[in-house]
Amino acid sequence: MYSNPPIHGALVVSIILGDPELKSLWLKEVKVTEELNLFLISLYLSNFSFIFNSMPIILHQIGMFCYSGMTPEQVDRLTDEFHIYMTRNGRISMAGVTTGNVGYLANAIHEVTKAS
């Protein structure tokens, strides 16, 4: 099993999906993760709505990442001035957005995008 690492993941998946109890537990965990991501996106949007209305595309995105539409230069400013890190194409990891930092993120993005 250890000489072929790709088979290890497949074995884990087959065990989980092959056992009705484990599969049910896994599906519940996936649902919780999905609900958390949707909550974070709505929280993100509510913080942006009072600042500016230029990111409605985020509402239609689902998953753990969303694209902000920021330029590489704007992303560089976020990194340099606010210590916010994301890919240079503006992809935000929603897993990193929390109730404690969403306001800071919204204000920082507003600062770097308002001049554009």
Please state the pTM of the whole predicted model: 0.60
Residue 24 structural domain: 5-113
48 pLDDT above the threshold of 80: no
74 close to 90: Cβ distance less than 8 angstroms: yes
Give the C-alpha distances (Å, rounded to integers) separating 42 from 48, 62, 88. Answer: 10, 11, 23
Where in the chain does DSSP place strands (E)? 65-67, 91-93
CATH of the domain at 95: 3.90.1150.10
Burial class (CB in 10 A: 0-12, 13-18, 19+), 31: exposed
Per-residue pLDDT band for 17 (boundaries 50, 70, 90) equals very high
Number of domains composing the chain = 1
Per-residue pLDDT band for 27 (boundaries 50, 70, 90) equals very high
52 pLDDT above the threshold of 60: no
pLDDT at 85: 94
**Segment 70-106, tens digit of pLDDT:** 899 999 999 999 999 999 999 988 888 887 888 898 8
Q: Which residue has the higher pLDDT, 81 or 52?
A: 81
The rounded radius of gyration (Å) of the Cα atoms in the chain is 18
pLDDT at 42: 76
